[in-house]
Copies of this chain bind each other. A is one copy, B any other.
């Protein structure tokens, strides 16, 4: 009889059937050999040869359907251009890789439909689990997170009652650290360049800023508060608007990208940093150390949060019955040249200098 090509898929790609037929064994034997379990030397030889001849490569989708796992983990963040997420991603990747899985990243661009769409898509078994760091959280969103078919860990603030693993920091406290430091170094006209107020971090930081001023008996001047989005360009233009109507001696910025924009606007306007205006950023990313002068910045422990989130996720994948857990990473302040305290320059890669606040918000 002629060649048997009955098992050959239309697509032309060899399957385990192809290999088995060519080697003259059953698909069970072929599969076993290809997975390195069992098989007589002769069978192994034949199957290996057949597989090599036809260029067999296993179909991971079919394998996953059978094994109920993909070996992939996803991270969904709003903006991958923000170095804070890059740092978080690096930490997560390290943990995830140690479990033999691979990390995939998806940038949602902050479009909330995009994020829920991703959840509904990826989470439906394309990945073994996912870490999500949403900046806006709707109820719809929340339910999508809670009854995701696949384990989910959220990085960021979340309603107290949400039954999802959650790693957070206290960014209100973080802003307080910045304000305390600036007040302690003699600044009084402290401005604030924030991100959108309809985001979770935006509202938290706004509240933190106002609370901190109040605690120092400083009146909150609305002219000193400006809002953009969490990007460099917005930080720059927002600062330009602020400078056009007010004269701050310090600026707190809701993240490092904004702080870089502010720095740029200040220098372009002829203000000296830190002599005329001190600047403190937030997230303490590599970007803060890349600036000249180097930026003081409030660390929200993104590396640590990423690491913990990944660990939580792996634990939950291993045992989905665990109760929801919540972890909190305390913020700390790294003081550098941009806020003018004449400290001996800290080692570039070293641990940030922390600065305790009087308010016991957290930790």
Contacts and interface: CB of A to CB of B under 8 A. Distances in A.
A141 interface: no
Contact of A102 (B57, B60, B121): B121
Contacts of A149: 13, 57, 59
A61 B105 CA distance: 19
Contacts of A107: 89, 93, 103, 105
B286 A59 contact: no
A104 interface: yes
Contacts of A286: 81, 232
A297 to B, nearest CB: 15
A319 interface: no
A298 B131 CA distance: 36
B86 A81 contact: yes
A267 interface: yes
Interface string A82-120: 010010011001000000001111110100000001101
Interface in A246-274: 260-261, 263-264, 267-268
Contacts of A74: 104
A65 interface: yes
Contact of A106 (B70, B105, B233): B105
A65 B61 contact: yes
Nearest to A97: B114
Contact of A58 (B109, B124, B260, B264): B124
A104 B104 contact: yes
Contact of A62 (B65, B233, B263, B268): B65
A221 interface: no
| Most B CB within 10 A of own CB, among A59, A121, A292 | A292
Contacts of A55: 147
Contacts of A233: 348-349
A86 B233 CA distance: 16
Interface residues of A, number: 53
Contacts of A65: 59, 61-62, 65
Interface in A175-193: none
A26 interface: no
21 contacts: A55-B147, A57-B120, A57-B149, A58-B124, A59-B124, A59-B149, A60-B122, A60-B126, A61-B61, A61-B70, A61-B124, A74-B104, A81-B90, A93-B107, A103-B107, A233-B348, A260-B290, A263-B292, A264-B292, A267-B292, A292-B292
Given A103-B106, A264-B292, 19 more contacts: A11-B68, A13-B149, A57-B124, A59-B124, A60-B121, A61-B65, A62-B125, A72-B126, A74-B104, A80-B86, A89-B107, A102-B117, A102-B122, A104-B105, A104-B106, A105-B105, A105-B107, A232-B286, A267-B292
Closest 6 CB pairs of A and B: A60-B124, A104-B104, A105-B105, A81-B86, A61-B125, A267-B292
